[in-house]
């Protein structure tokens, strides 16, 4: 009888532990944190947050922008009040004129210095202080956006695992995760090279630029560390570079169609196209838009993303755009435009501050998409098989535009060289030459043809991190120095050995020739003496 009781007790204990284990994964506390961010960053990852909440996880979402699309009843959201206006001002400072004046790299570098200010504002925001003061506040997993290094303070506070989600493999990340940059064949994003342009000297600059970005990043995080330490009243705080090494997983927003094929270890998981379905369904368009398109043979959608203020372009450039659009009266144009609507807007152009982009791209009458080539917009175009005219402005957009042009999915234009004739010719080519649509359909099919839905895949790997230690997924080079990883010490050793051998051979060769010459010379002298 006692044996039966003991067996039952063991069974109950086992069942309790199993149930507890299930709860710890199925009802985990998960925190999403965005640092320097625009609306597109949220658009890319938000479906994963929703799916985690639907699965029973307790999700908290920190996003420093008040204007956002989508919400979820099971997700608690924070918009840090002191951080929001700073991010808003920083993003709104970007307009087309920065590109026209070749200042986009300077603007991007400011993101580093401004991140320190944003971090201070985050921890100083009253709602964040109140949230952090909650008793028994705990998170099992922190999801960090790129340039969200301020969030490492939360990782440390909660002793949580963390996942990094990035729009692409930024050049400063390679050495942090032990990756060997493929600079011999893949262009570095800030140099705007195409694969066909990687000459010897371009490969030199391509290689050195990766190291420059890493040095700049290390300098940046050294400035963030004391802010975190001060704001959280920490006596000790590990270097952020150590947090990089301890990253459980990297969710990367890329796919080999839209990005150059790169070699990545298992800890990198693609989440490109989370909202893309194999058979997309379009919702009815707003009445004003639908009526505008009623008698049109087709239309072109124009949007330069959430960060670029198109209305700030010089009047002369705006008139070049308008002249090109007006010269194509059989087409209608929907242009996402914030600010005052100009009096000389052509009749076949509708300017509005917002369009339902997914429904616009899924519309049967769409002929093309004029875009800044941001990563989410490019992915949505691939999802709906809409050919592109890519006019990049900043960040990774040149890189994306070059890739899409390289594989035949886009016509790439430079905003600094646009004329009405060039734009008119490009739009006409895109809308009426069927090869562009045919190629984009082919690319779209490849983009959507996957063994597992990208949202299900990202969800699976997120829960995998909650279940297991992921150290086996990481490259072994993560603990090597930058020069060991590039085998520079090996090549230097081989160069020294080869030089030593060559020098030794040369020395003995010279000595032998000298001895032989002396021997011959002495014999000749002896012969003459006789």
Bin 487: left if φ > 0, else alpha if -120 < ψ < 50, else beta: left
**Closest CA relative to residue 352, chosen from 310, 317, 319, 393:** 310
Which strands make up the sheet holding 268-270, listed edge to edge? Answer: 75-78, 58-62, 29-33, 141-145, 161-166, 249-252, 268-270
DSSP state of 138: -
User: What's the pLDDT score for residue 14?
Assistant: 37
- In DSSP terms, 299 is beta-bridged to 332, 366
3-state secondary structure of 141: strand
User: What's the pLDDT score for residue 38?
Assistant: 78
The Cα–Cα gap between 252 and 270 comes to 5
**246, 159 in Cβ contact below 8 A?**
no
The Cα–Cα gap between 118 and 114 comes to 6
The Cα–Cα gap between 161 and 228 comes to 18
Query: In sequence order, what are the residues at sequence separation of 6 or more whose Cβ sits closer than 8 angstroms to the Cβ of residue 494?
Result: none
Label residue 2 exposed, middle or buried (CB < 10 Å: 0-12, 13-18, 19+). exposed
User: What's the pLDDT score for residue 53?
Assistant: 95
**Closest CA relative to residue 114, chosen from 190, 227, 251:** 227
CB atoms within 10 A of CB 178: 18
25-to-236, 375, 468 alpha-carbon distances in Å:
30, 31, 10
Tokens of 409: 């999915």
pLDDT tens-place values along the chain, 530 residues long = 444 444 444 444 433 333 444 344 569 999 999 988 777 888 889 999 999 999 999 999 999 887 666 688 899 999 999 998 888 777 765 667 777 777 766 766 777 778 888 999 999 999 999 999 999 999 999 999 988 899 999 999 999 999 999 988 888 899 999 999 999 999 888 888 888 888 999 999 999 999 998 988 898 899 999 999 999 999 889 999 999 999 999 999 999 999 998 889 999 999 998 888 777 777 889 999 999 998 888 999 999 887 777 888 889 999 999 999 999 999 999 999 988 899 999 999 999 999 999 999 999 999 999 999 988 899 999 999 999 999 998 878 889 999 999 999 999 999 888 999 999 999 999 999 999 999 999 999 999 999 999 999 999 999 999 999 999 999 999 999 999 999 999 999 999 999 999 999 999 998 888 888 877 777 766 666 66
DSSP state of 419: -
**480, 178 in Cβ contact below 8 A?**
yes
* Sign of the torsion angle spanned by Cα atoms 425, 426, 427, 429: positive
- In DSSP terms, 29 is beta-bridged to 58
DSSP state of 165: E
**Closest CA relative to residue 390, chosen from 430, 330, 353, 344:** 430
- In DSSP terms, 60 is beta-bridged to 31, 76
At CA 477, angle to CA 476 and CA 478, rounded to 5? 90
In the block, tokens 């004003």 appear at: 288
The Cα–Cα gap between 397 and 190 comes to 10
Q: Which residues of 4-32 are buried (b: 16+ CB within 10 A; e: fewer)?
A: eeeeeeeeeeeeeeeeeeeeeeeebbbbb
Query: In sequence order, what are the residues at sequence separation of 6 or more whose Cβ sits closer than 8 angstroms to the Cβ of residue 90?
Result: 36, 110, 111, 114, 118
The Cα–Cα gap between 95 and 82 comes to 23
Query: In sequence order, what are the residues at sequence separation of 6 or more whose Cβ sits closer than 8 angstroms to the Cβ of residue 344?
Result: 319, 322
């Amino acid at each position: 009888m006692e044996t039966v009781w003991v067996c039952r007790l063991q069974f109950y204990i086992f069942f309790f532990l199993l149930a507890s284990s299930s709860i710890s994964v199925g009802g985990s506390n998960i925190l999403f944190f965005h640092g320097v961010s625009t609306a597109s960053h949220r658009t890319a990852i938000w479906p994963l947050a929703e799916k985690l909440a639907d699965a029973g996880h307790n999700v908290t979402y920190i996003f420093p922008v008040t204007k956002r699309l989508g919400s979820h009843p099971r997700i608690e959201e924070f918009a840090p009040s002191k951080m929001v206006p700073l991010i808003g001002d920083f993003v709104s400072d970007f307009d087309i004129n920065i590109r026209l004046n070749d200042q986009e790299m300077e603007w991007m570098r400011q993101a580093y210095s401004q991140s320190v200010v944003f971090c201070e504002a985050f921890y100083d925001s009253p709602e964040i202080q109140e949230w952090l003061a909650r008793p028994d506040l705990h998170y099992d997993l922190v999801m960090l956006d790129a340039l969200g290094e301020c969030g490492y303070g939360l990782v440390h506070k909660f002793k949580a695992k963390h996942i990094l989600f990035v729009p692409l493999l930024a050049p400063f990340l390679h050495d942090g995760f032990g990756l060997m940059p493929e600079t011999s064949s893949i262009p570095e994003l800030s140099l705007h090279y195409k694969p066909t342009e990687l000459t010897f000297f371009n490969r030199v600059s391509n290689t050195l630029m990766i190291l420059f970005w890493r040095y700049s990043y290390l300098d940046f995080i050294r400035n963030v560390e004391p802010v975190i330490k001060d704001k959280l009243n920490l006596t000790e705080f590990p270097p952020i570079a150590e947090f990089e090494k301890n990253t459980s997983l990297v969710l990367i927003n890329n796919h080999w169609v839209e990005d150059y094929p790169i070699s990545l270890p298992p800890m990198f998981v693609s989440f490109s196209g989370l909202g893309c379905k194999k058979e997309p369904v379009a919702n009815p368009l707003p009445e004003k838009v639908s009526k505008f398109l009623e008698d049109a043979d087709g239309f072109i959608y124009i949007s330069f993303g959430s960060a670029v203020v198109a209305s700030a372009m010089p009047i002369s450039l705006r008139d070049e755009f308008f002249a090109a659009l007006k010269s194509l009266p059989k087409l209608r144009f929907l242009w996402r435009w914030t600010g005052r609507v100009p009096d000389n807007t052509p009749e076949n152009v509708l300017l509005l501050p917002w369009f339902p982009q997914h429904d616009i791209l899924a519309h049967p009458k769409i002929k093309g998409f004029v875009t800044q080539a941001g990563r989410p917009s490019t992915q949505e175009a691939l999802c709906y098989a809409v050919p592109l005219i890519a006019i990049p402005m900043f960040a990774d957009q040149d890189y994306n535009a070059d890739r899409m042009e390289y594989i035949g999915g886009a016509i790439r234009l430079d905003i600094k060289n646009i004329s009405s004739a060039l734009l008119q010719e490009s739009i006409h080519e895109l809308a009426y030459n069927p090869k562009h649509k045919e190629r984009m359909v082919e690319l779209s099919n490849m983009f959507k043809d996957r063994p597992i839905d990208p949202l299900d895949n990202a969800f699976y790997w997120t829960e995998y991190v909650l279940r297991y230690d992921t150290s086996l997924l990481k490259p072994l080079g993560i603990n090597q120095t930058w020069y060991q990883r590039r085998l520079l010490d090996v090549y230097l050793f081989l160069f020294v050995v080869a030089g030593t051998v060559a020098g030794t051979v040369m020395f003995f060769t010279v000595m032998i020739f000298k001895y032989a010459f002396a021997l011959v010379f002495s014999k000749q002298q002896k012969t003459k003496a006789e």
